[in-house]
């Protein structure tokens, strides 16, 4: 794993741990995470940049890249 992949995995782990901390209010906690992420994108990229990021996210979801039901397990994820 390169440094970017390591940072991504560590950030994802921290985020999952944070959401687990508020498991009784999981949708509210997730909504606040999303709002905070959008706020950070607006501050970092401006409104136009944040809109582009959100459009990319929408396209990614529509393309099925985030489905928890995969039609086929990728070979690199087989044990």
What gap in Å lies between CA 76 and CA 59, rounded to an integer? 24
**Which pLDDT tens digit goes with each residue over 17-70?**
999 999 999 999 999 999 999 999 999 999 999 999 999 999 999 998 888 765
User: Domain residues of the chain, as ranges?
Assistant: 3-63
Q: Are 29 and 22 in contact (CB under 8 A)?
A: yes
pLDDT-derived band of residue 75, with 50, 70 and 90 as boundaries? low
pLDDT-derived band of residue 76, with 50, 70 and 90 as boundaries? low
Q: Are 8 and 1 in contact (CB under 8 A)?
A: no
């Amino acid at each position: 794993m390169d440094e970017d992949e390591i940072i991504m995995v560590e950030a994802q782990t921290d985020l999952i741990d944070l959401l687990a901390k508020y498991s009784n209010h999981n949708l509210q906690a997730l909504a606040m995470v999303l709002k905070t992420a959008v706020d950070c994108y607006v501050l970092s990229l401006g409104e136009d940049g944040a809109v582009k990021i959100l459009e990319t996210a929408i396209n990614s979801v529509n393309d099925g890249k985030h489905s928890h039901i995969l039609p086929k397990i990728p070979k690199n994820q087989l044990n």
